[in-house]
């Protein structure tokens, strides 16, 4: 059978492979090469060694956006996961309307980042105008604005994953723990949380990478204002590419650093939480 299927390579595997090579693989390799070049289009690329990397190390706005992104990611990962887990715990109890509430919390997730950004720009500016301020008055407003937006969008999605995790915990475990005299708190931290580790692994991975890579919401909500102080990494890279002529090489070098950071974070995070998963 394997031999017969092997003959279908051109029909079965080739279309996806070709699209993958054109759409992802070639641009990826080119991207690494270009990060060592000075260029405005690909054909005029000149090899300049590590010059781009030296330039980005001296770019204060980039370093600021690195810290801004790190802080934003840390705050949102904790907030989203704690709130989503709490919502999942409550919404797996039996009371009227749980399905409706789940559906409501999930809804914002389907709305695109650009639309979300403008919805919240209206809301925040409306609230801040009471104090005679706007969202772009200070980077602190932009930071918390992005945090609220991100929580609003992501909590429902993570809640759904946590609910699926909670429903797979066998009742027998709770009964055994109760017979052993465990109280509510112990049930939560000794049974529910350890048994939910696979879901926690997935949700922290998703929130971590989503927050770190955030672009559309950032562009629509603050566009980096005031004076690039609320630029997350992805937007900073975009503006380096398309906002500053002659800086394409530096933009590409930033993108490589960005990629390495995402890969590193994803690796560390999965190692950490995977090691806490328990076998059933």
Partner 1 sequence: MKKRRNPALTILFSVISVVYIAPILIVLMNSFKRKAYINRYPFALPNADTFVGLENYTSGIEKIDFWRAFGYSVFITTVSVAVILLCTSMCAWYITRVPGPFSRIFYTLCLFAMVVPFQMVMFPLSKVTDLLRLNTPIGIVPVYLGFGAGLAVFLFCGFMRSIPIEVEEAAMIDGCSPTQTFFFAVLPMLRPTLISVGILETMWIWNDYLLPLLVLNQKKYKTLPIAIQYLKGGYGSIDWGAMMAMLVLAIVPIIVFYLALQKHIIKGVAAGAVKG
Comparison of 20 and 189: residue with beta carbon closer to partner 1 = 20
Cα–Cα distance for residue pair 53/256, rounded to 1 Å: 10
Q: Which helix (H) or strand (E) covers residue 37, if one does?
A: strand 37-38
Are residues 36 and 48 in contact, defined by beta-carbon separation less than 8 angstroms? yes
State the minimum distance, in angstroms, from the CB of residue 275 to partner 1: 18
State the minimum distance, in angstroms, from the CB of residue 49 to partner 1: 19
Phi, psi of 37 (to 5 degrees): -125, 165
Comparison of 114 and 147: residue with beta carbon closer to partner 1 = 114
Comparison of 33 and 143: residue with beta carbon closer to partner 1 = 33
Half-sphere exposure of 223 (CA within 13 A, CB side): 4
State the minimum distance, in angstroms, from the CB of residue 201 to partner 1: 10
Cα–Cα distance for residue pair 217/94, rounded to 1 Å: 35
Comparison of 67 and 95: residue with beta carbon closer to partner 1 = 95
State the minimum distance, in angstroms, from the CB of residue 184 to partner 1: 15
State the minimum distance, in angstroms, from the CB of residue 143 to partner 1: 19
Comparison of 77 and 219: residue with beta carbon closer to partner 1 = 219
Cα–Cα distance for residue pair 261/52, rounded to 1 Å: 17
- CA 24 to chain CA mean position, Å: 20
């Amino acid at each position: 059978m394997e031999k017969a299927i092997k003959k279908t390579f051109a029909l079965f595997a080739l279309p996806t492979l070709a699209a993958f090579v054109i759409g992802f693989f070639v641009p990826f390799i080119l991207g690494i090469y270009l990060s060592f070049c000075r260029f405005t289009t690909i054909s005029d690329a000149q090899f300049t060694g590590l010059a781009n990397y030296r330039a980005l190390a001296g770019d204060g706005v980039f370093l600021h956006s690195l810290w801004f992104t790190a802080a934003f990611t840390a705050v949102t990962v904790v907030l989203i996961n704690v709130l989503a887990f709490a919502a999942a715990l409550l919404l797996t109890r039996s009371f009227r309307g749980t399905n409706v509430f789940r559906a409501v919390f999930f809804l914002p997730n389907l709305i695109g980042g650009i639309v979300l950004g403008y919805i919240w720009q209206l809301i925040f500016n409306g609230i801040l105008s009471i104090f005679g301020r706007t969202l772009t008055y200070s980077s602190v407003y932009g930071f918390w604005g992005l945090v609220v937006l991100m929580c609003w969008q992501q909590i429902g999605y993570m809640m759904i994953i946590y609910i699926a995790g909670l429903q797979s915990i066998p009742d027998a475990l709770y009964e055994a723990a109760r017979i052993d005299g465990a109280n509510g708190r112990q049930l939560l931290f000794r049974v529910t949380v350890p048994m939910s580790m696979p879901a926690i692994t997935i949700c922290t991975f998703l929130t971590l990478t989503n927050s770190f890579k955030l672009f559309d919401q950032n562009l629509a909500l603050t566009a980096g204002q005031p004076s690039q102080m609320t630029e997350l990494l992805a937007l900073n890279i975009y503006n380096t590419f398309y906002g500053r002529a002659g800086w394409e090489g530096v933009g590409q070098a930033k993108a490589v650093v960005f990629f390495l950071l995402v890969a590193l974070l994803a690796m560390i995070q999965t190692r950490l939480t995977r090691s806490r998963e328990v076998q059933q």
